[in-house]
Copies of this chain bind each other. A is one copy, B any other.
Amino acid sequence: MSFPVPTPDMFPHKPKQGLRLAPHTRPAASPVSKVGLIGMGTVGSAVARILSQNASPRLQLTHVCSRTAARSRFPWLPADVACNTDVDQLLASDLDIVVELVGGLNPAGDWIRRALQAGKSVVTANKQLIAHCGPELLDLAHKMGCQLAFGASVAGGIPVVSALQEGLAGDRLFKVHGILNGTCNYVLSQIEKEQVSFDVAVKEAQRLGFAEADPSEDVDGLDAGAKLAILARVGLRSEVRVSEIACRTIRNIEAVDFVYAEQLGCTIRQVSRAELHGGDLYSCVQPALVPLGSPLARAQGSQNLVVATGQFGGDTVFSGFGAGGNPTAVAVVSDLIAIAQPQPSAAATVSATRPNKVSSDFVSPQYVRFTVMDRPGIIAVLAAIFSEEEINIDSVLQKPGYPKSALPFVIAFEPCSASALEKALNRTKTLDFLVQPPVSLPILH
């Protein structure tokens, strides 16, 4: 690791003894990179603000493109920064670096391709685009001798992308797991604390701006799935398509699940996992039981957490704010500073390999909540099925106080594969005492 670009104005105070810089470290005419910014939402305006405060002497914000172009919304924007709605004009100007903060596959993808084809470097926080098209775009950047950086696409302000691909490059990482979606954190915490339904928790999250009008991408795991695909590529050097990552929703989690989880010393989180076993990649995004007091359990609100596990270095944990304007803007500006270095190396393309197979069939202890019309013999019937499927029961939990007509109880199973459990659960579908489908969650240790 070498020291960063000198940024004497990183701190506002005047140095007492001046900069401790040797005369050769700052060329008389340090080149300045002109930066254009597409998208002036929460993250975009935070980036523009930081750049306007002289984040680095090598970066000059010259253009911003906003859907509304209401310049009056950004009164702090320096007068010499052009502000309009015309992306074509921005792309046609003499920028060195384009920052894309609109999101989504298109038109963002087209803009980025055009910028790279014009030899401009690109910084983006667009997880879906990088997850789907990262290798293609990196190839294009490499061919054009420019850079594509996307540190903000995963876990916002936590510099986990660079940490995995550079800081831990000397290890052989075989597992990456963590909490990559703050909306799920919030919704699950609400269900737990307020003992409310999923729908009520989501409405509250929407009211507070923590969930989109359509929360599907967050609560059904697609947002975390895209981030996990990126982490698998940069951390495990394993090329996985977003569509191959199994994503399970948190919609079926109820307050009672937290009651039973606590009896097992756990709480519930949306967990993203990717693991290499030989040449196979196991990956999924799903709600899971995690031990109370574990780092996973402690992630709250927009906090994200990533655990990278290597053959030599063991577990290395990164946590911080994974969303929000300012933390995500830090990741964008850090990428800009790296690109604006005097001699940035050209973007190397991904060295990721295709796994032999991609599977979500993890083996773990399992939690299954059954909701039944109570009558004698239910446990016996279920026990017989799981016994025939060679899945061992670890414990049966039943709290008093629930109605006989919709009685929730939990069976915790010894470690078995997700597919074996699913096969057994399929056999329970015809049982007339079940008033709703069983809810199954892996128990992580």
From A6-14, A33-41, A72-80, A191-199, the one touching the partner chain is: A6-14
Chain B minimum-CB-distance residue to A174? B11
Assuming the A-B contacts A170-B334, A334-B170, are A20 and B135 also in contact, with contact meaning beta carbons closer than 8 angstroms in the complex?
A: yes
A4 contacts chain B at the CB level, 8 A cutoff: yes
Give min CB distance, A46 to chain B, whole Å.
7
Query: Which residue from B4, B13, B18, B313 sits with its C-beta under 8 Å from A327?
Result: B313
Bound complex: CA A338 to CA B94 (Å):
31
**Which range contains the number of A residues in contact with the other chain?**
35 or more
Asked if A166 contacts B4 (CB within 8 A), the reply is yes
Assuming the A-B contacts A22-B139, A169-B334, A239-B20, are A318 and B321 also in contact, with contact meaning beta carbons closer than 8 angstroms in the complex?
A: no
A330 contacts chain B at the CB level, 8 A cutoff: yes
Asked if A312 contacts B24 (CB within 8 A), the reply is no
19 contacts between A and B (CB under 8 A): A1-B150, A1-B161, A3-B347, A4-B165, A4-B169, A5-B351, A10-B237, A10-B351, A11-B174, A19-B351, A20-B354, A22-B142, A151-B167, A166-B337, A167-B334, A169-B337, A170-B335, A314-B320, A316-B318
Contact bitstring A319-342, B, C-beta under 8 A = 1, else 0: 111000011011111111110011
Asked if B320 contacts A316 (CB within 8 A), the reply is yes
A439 contacts chain B at the CB level, 8 A cutoff: no
A interface residue numbers (CB < 8 A to B): 1-8, 10-11, 13-22, 24-25, 46, 50, 55-56, 135, 138-139, 141-143, 147-151, 157-159, 161-163, 165-172, 174, 234, 236-237, 239, 276, 278-279, 293, 310, 312-321, 326-327, 329-338, 341-356
Asked if A167 contacts B159 (CB within 8 A), the reply is yes
Give min CB distance, A305 to chain B, whole Å.
9
Asked if B16 contacts A279 (CB within 8 A), the reply is yes
Chain B minimum-CB-distance residue to A159? B167
Chain B minimum-CB-distance residue to A319? B317
Bound complex: CA A314 to CA B147 (Å):
28
A17: chain B residues at CB < 8 Å are: 353-354
Chain B minimum-CB-distance residue to A279? B13
Asked if B353 contacts A20 (CB within 8 A), the reply is yes
A8: chain B residues at CB < 8 Å are: 351, 353
Q: Most chain-B CB neighbours within 10 Å: which of A14, A24, A135, A331?
A: A331
Bound complex: CA A234 to CA B316 (Å):
20
Asked if B349 contacts A341 (CB within 8 A), the reply is no
Bound complex: CA A23 to CA B179 (Å):
36
A46: chain B residues at CB < 8 Å are: 312
